[in-house]
Amino acid sequence: MRDARVMADELLAWYDRHARAMPWRVGPAERAAGVAPDPYAVWLSEVMLQQTTVAAVRDYFTRFRTLWPTVHDLAAAEDARVMGEWAGLGYYARARNLLKCARVVSGELDGHFPDTLDGLKALPGIGPYTAAAIAAIAFDRAETVVDGNVERVMARLFAITDPMPGSKPALREAAATLTPDTRPGDYAQAVMDLGATICTPRSPACGLCPWRGDCAAHAQGIAADLPAREAKKPKPVRYGVAYVGRRTDGAWLVETRPESGLLGGMLGWPGGDWGETPEDRPPLPADWQDLGEAVRHTFTHFHLRLAVRVATLPAEATPARGHFTDRLAPSDLPTVMRKVYDLARDSLS
C-alpha cells in the first residue's frame, strides 16, 4: 500500500472529477472558488442521513431548508410541525433532538455551531460520527469520518475479514491512518462517495477505483465478500391495537405519546403496549368495531401488526386517555399512525 498522503491526494483528484451533487454539499469547484459550507446545512443533512439513504433525504432536506432557512427559524418552529414534516424519515428521536439542538445553538450560541469535535459532541443529539462529519465537512477539521460506506471501503482496502459489528474498531483505526490534514472535509466526502458509487455492497466496480492497486481484498479476490457480517437474527413480531374514535362533531380522539421511547412526543391513536399478544386497553367504553385488517409496519428491531378498531363517539365523551382535536392533519402523524388513519377514515367519515 502506498503512502497515505499519496493515496489521499489520488482520491481527492478522483473526487474533484466525480463528486456527487447534493443540495447540502459545497462541491470541490465551489470550495476552490472560496465558497464555504454552511454548518447549519451540514448538520441538518447529517442528522437526516443517519440510517437513511441519500435518495430518501434529498426532498426532506430541501423542504426543511425552504420552511426553516436558518437555525433560528428551525428553533422557533412548532414541535408538531417539525415532527409532521419529519414523518417518513423514521427514528423520531432524531427529530426531537434536532429541535433541542437548534434551540441550544440559536438561544445559547447566537446561531453559531461549535467548530471542534468536543464542542459539537456537547450538543443534543450529536454523537461521535455526526460530530466528526460536521467538524470535517463544515470546518475542515482533520477528523476521521466513518459511516457504512467508509467501513466497507476500509474492510476491502485492508482486507479486514472479521465480521461486523465486532470489526468496527479495527475499521475506524484503519480509516484514521488515511485521514489527511489537507482538505479533510472533501476527503471525508470522497471516501463516502467512493463507497456509494464504486465500492458498492454488491459487484464493486474495482476497475474504476482509484485505490484498486492498494486494495488487499481486490488482490485476494475477496472484495465482494467484505465486509463480513454476523448472521442476522430474525426480527420478532409485536402486536397491538389502535383505537380510532371520532366524535359526532368531527373531532378525533388522539394521544401524545410519552417523550421517551418509540415515537416519543408524536401524535398517535390510543392503544395499549405492543408485545407478543396485543394489550386490549380502549380509551373509553364505546361500540368499538374491529376493521378486520391489520396495519403492518416495520421498525428497526421488530415488525408490528396493529389491529384497528373504530367507533363514533358522543359529544359528551370523556376519554381516560388522550384528547380530542378538530384540527387533525394526517401529515402530523408518524408513518405507522398515518397508515392507521388511512385504513380507518372511510369508516368514520
Whole-angstrom distance, CA of residue 35 vs CA of residue 11 = 21
Beta bridge mates, 309 = 243, 290
Whole-angstrom distance, CA of residue 334 vs CA of residue 232 = 27
Ordered alpha helix ranges (H), 178-244? 184-197, 216-220
C-alpha cell at 174: 484503519
Beta bridge mates, 321 = none
**Three-state secondary structure readout of 119-161:** HHHCCCCCCHHHHHHHHHHHHCCCCCCCCHHHHHHHHHHCCCC
C-alpha cell at 26: 459545497
Contacts of residue 168, defined as CB under 8 A and 6 or more positions apart, other chains included, come to: 151
Active site residue 293: no
Q: Are 68 and 61 in contact (CB under 8 A)?
A: no
Query: Minimal CA–CA distance to 117: which of 145, 94, 75?
Result: 145
Q: Which of 30, 46, 151, 316 is the catalytic position? A: 46
Whole-angstrom distance, CA of residue 230 vs CA of residue 145 = 23
Provide Rg for the chain, Cα atoms.
24
Q: HSE of 107 in the Cβ direction (CA atoms, 13 Å)?
A: 10
Question: 347 by DSSP, 3-state: which?
Answer: helix
My answer on whether omega of the bond before 270 falls inside 30° of 0, hence cis, is: no
* Residues labelled as active-site residues: 46
